[in-house]
Amino acid sequence: MTNVLILGANGSIARFAIDLFLKETDAQLTLYLRNSGRLKNVNSSRVRIIEGDVLDIEKLKEAMVGQDVVYANLAGQLEQMAKNVVEAMNASDVNRLIWISSMGIYGEVPGERYSSILNPYRNSAAIVEGSDLDYTILRPGWFTNNDEIDYEITQKGEPFKGHDVSRKSVAYLVVKLAITPGMEIRRSLGVSKPE
């Protein structure tokens, strides 16, 4: 049984992932979010809720205790969040991190140049990559609400393929990574729907 801490648990991908974790796995979930009143349909004996801010390092450290996997589904001050997540995981000896980023952070999307708008994504990914953690960074394409699981992966150093990907596909990959020991460790994966 895997203990999974979900940071930013009311995020659009996280909500799909929580649903999949509860339906398809026996994982125990800790949902960490700023406003628990926003959560819907998560009544399960396998769910614990912590109201907290990822910028609150002490609260974050408390949430790390006993976790096997951290899944960060965050937006906003991503650099400081990445620093806090790495510090809190190191403090609790939690090693496995799944970090949601964005396509384009390495200039890997053919024909597209994403400038400063992606800096928080770039810089936070660099912090994760500079850690000793067993991380997997996901760089999804534009999200769709299509009810499908259909994606392909590109590795760092390869050109990104495609453009869009369903939220459900990204969530499916998160769950697979979380429950499969050793899968795509210390990798940064482009994720998109095959064209």
Ligand X SMILES: NC(=O)c1ccc[n+]([C@@H]2O[C@H](COP(=O)([O-])OP(=O)(O)OC[C@H]3O[C@@H](n4cnc5c(N)ncnc54)[C@H](OP(=O)(O)O)[C@@H]3O)[C@@H](O)[C@H]2O)c1
Q: What CA–CA distances, in Å, run from 162 to 103, 122, 192, 193?
A: 10, 20, 6, 6
Tell me: does residue 162 bind ligand X (CB under 6 A).
no
Tell me: does residue 185 bind ligand X (CB under 6 A).
no
Tell me: does residue 112 bind ligand X (CB under 6 A).
no
Let me know: does 32 contact 84? Beta carbons within 8 Å. Answer: no
* Window 8-37: contact mask with ligand X (x via CB under 6 A): x-xxxxx------------------xxx--
Q: Whose Cβ is closer to ligand X: residue 13's or residue 137's?
A: 13
Q: Which of 28, 30, 67, 73 binds ligand X (CB under 6 A)?
A: 73
CB-CB neighbours of 189 under 10 Å: 20
* 3-class DSSP assignment, residue 175: helix
Q: Whose Cβ is closer to ligand X: residue 35's or residue 45's?
A: 35
Let me know: does 30 contact 5? Beta carbons within 8 Å. Answer: yes
Contact positions vs ligand X (CB under 6 A): 8, 10-14, 33-35, 38, 53-55, 73-76, 100, 102, 140, 142-143
